[in-house]
Amino acid sequence: MKLGKITRFGVRAAWTALALLVPTVASAGVSVGFDVKTLNEVLPAMLKTTISVPITDSRSIAVEIAELRIDGFAPSAEPDGTGHILTHLQVKVPQFGLSATLEPRLSLNITDKARILELRFERAELPLPIATLDIAGFLPPIRFPADSLYTLDGLRDDVLLRSRLTEVKMGRQILRFEFKVDVVPAAGR
């Protein structure tokens, strides 16, 4: 059997057949913005109400979080930085009969390994009778998945969507999350 010469028509036909066999993926860019008012409705519900702060190897104090309020945004001057979320945190330490308002900042980080958006407290200094204690390291980070799968009910079939957080942009008035959303082909499920 002798193979003939491959013609331009043959190459074009092969690429066309391959393109028909490989499903195309529809995708879109989605931008979601949160202002201070919206964040004040969402974030406080996600925070623990009591944390335990160790002061020695055998002793700890209970710090109650009474209120978290978002005051504004401090965008970074660096091109690759997102900046900080400015907050007021009302805490109580029943063991000392203490109530204080702290002004920690929340930093935004996307962890590459787990693809998690993490809001972490920075510099939350609590004035105690014996000393000032920075409790930021004991406040648990607030975490959101940066990648998600969603199912939309379709008339003929369900549609599976995959979203990936691609960028976080902070302005003075709004915190914007940029996502890439892809339709997952039926063959890829």
35 vs 10, higher pLDDT: 35
The 3-state DSSP class for residue 157 equals coil
4 within domain boundaries: no
80 within domain boundaries: yes
At residue 47, the pLDDT reads 79
Count structural domains, the chain. Answer: 1
14 within domain boundaries: no
18 within domain boundaries: no
What would the two tokens of residue 44 be? 């406080």
In this model, does residue 65 exceed pLDDT 90? Answer: no
15 within domain boundaries: no
Range of the domain at 52: 25-188
In this model, does residue 80 exceed pLDDT 70? Answer: no
Task: Write the DSSP symbol of residue 97.
Answer: T
The 3-state DSSP class for residue 11 equals helix
11 within domain boundaries: no
Averaged pLDDT, 170-187: 83
Residues 6+ away with beta carbon under 8 Å from 98:
92, 127, 128, 129
Contact 98, 79 (CB under 8 A): no
The 3-state DSSP class for residue 188 equals helix
> Environment class of residue 147 by beta-carbon count within 10 Å: exposed (0-12), middle (13-18) or buried (19+)?
middle
At residue 37, the pLDDT reads 93
In this model, does residue 22 exceed pLDDT 50? Answer: no
**102-148 tens-digit pLDDT:** 998 888 887 766 678 888 888 888 887 788 888 888 888 888 888 88
8 within domain boundaries: no
CA distance 120 to 100: 20
The 3-state DSSP class for residue 176 equals strand
Number of residues written out for the chain: 189
41 within domain boundaries: yes
